[in-house]
Amino acid sequence: MAFKRFKSLSVAVFSLFLVLLSGSAMANEGEGAEGKFDPGKEMLDHIADAHEFHFFTIKHEGGHDFHATLPLPVLLYSPQRGFDFFMSSKFHHGTEVHNGYKLVEHDIVPVKEDGSVDESVKVYDFSLTKNVVQMFLALLVLVLILTQMAKKYKSGQGLTSAPRGLQNAIEPVILFIRDDVAKPNLHHKTEKFLPYLLTLFFFILINNLFGLLPGSANVTGNIAFTAVLGFISLVVILFSSNAHFWGHIFWYPGVPVGVKFLMLPVELMGVFTKPFALIIRLFANMTAGHIIILSFVSLIFIFTEMTKTAGIAFTPVSIAFAVFIYMIEILVAFIQAFIFTNLTAVFISQAIGDHHFEEDPHH
């Protein structure tokens, strides 16, 4: 009992630390043109991709601010200027021009000698942004965890003896995906698609959890990331389909001919709307959670701009709600990974379903 209380207290303190750290970054950065806090701009900046990991900023009266950042490599190609490779720190957080390029918001644009945008120069940005770097880190963590578990099973641990360590946490999840997601939908094809479903679940889950760390990237809140996952699922679904599946799409059996022509565009559109729903659901849910947390933190600075007393008085309330939503977001990270994986299994099942009979009035 004492250990559970200590663990709950540790989670609460850690969550409070995350909120306060995020809040300090917002307090120092989120100012508009007149020095007022701009919550909308600040929220979009925190969920957008960038060329560096920014943790917090400490402002000094002399104007020499301290930025706690981790710069990332910048790789640019321009048909007019050729290749350029340097670190994003050369931009000095968007205040300086380097090699004829400048960082405007989160985009790198070519500029002339006077600092104005050079419209005649085309630039292709192949930089390692924080979304890309964090995705690679998540992939590395995924490979390390699963390969280490595979080595333990090969040595007999977990087979001839009880699982230990990380196996105790990962094995129930693997069994859950196999027994409650894959088998009920895919039946005898479970072993064929289980590796893909497990990879999908853990990859999304790790990226979801990484996105909750302060200063990290919200990878699963990026529509490009979810679009690639949805496209891969669409490819798997289409390559798993059979003649019965397409027969039910183009010439639905058991209905009048006139109705078949009405159902054809609907059924054909459904092939593409299913992965599209996967894309939007994951993107919207992970983005919404971050925006809600940042909204509660922003209220502290909005009330502070009214009166300092109101800001101090509302701070405990704002932090309490932010921590509460943060804890829910940890649960949502697991739920969204499960939903994406489960619906993918359902859609694959529909493509490979066993058609023992066609629809008729006797069934």
Report the predicted TM-score, pTM, of the whole model to 2 decimal places.
0.82
Residues 6+ apart with CB under 8 A from 28: 56, 57, 58, 59, 65
Residue among 245, 192, 236, 232 nearest 352 (CA): 245
pLDDT tens readout for residues 66-113: 777 888 899 999 888 889 998 888 888 778 888 888 888 888 888 888
Per the DSSP assignment, residues forming a β-bridge with 266 are none
Joined together, the tokens standing for residue 175 give 């069994």
As a whole number of angstroms, the distance between CA 105 and CA 131 comes to 16
pLDDT tens readout for residues 248-302: 777 777 777 777 777 788 888 888 898 999 999 999 999 988 888 888 888 888 8
Residue located via tokens 């459904």: 270
pLDDT at 335 (0 to 100): 94
Contacts 24+ apart (CB under 8 A), 292-295: 292/325, 293/19, 293/22, 293/322, 293/325, 293/326, 293/329, 294/22, 294/26, 294/39, 294/42, 294/43, 294/46, 294/47, 295/39, 295/43
Helix H or strand E segment including 109: strand 107-110
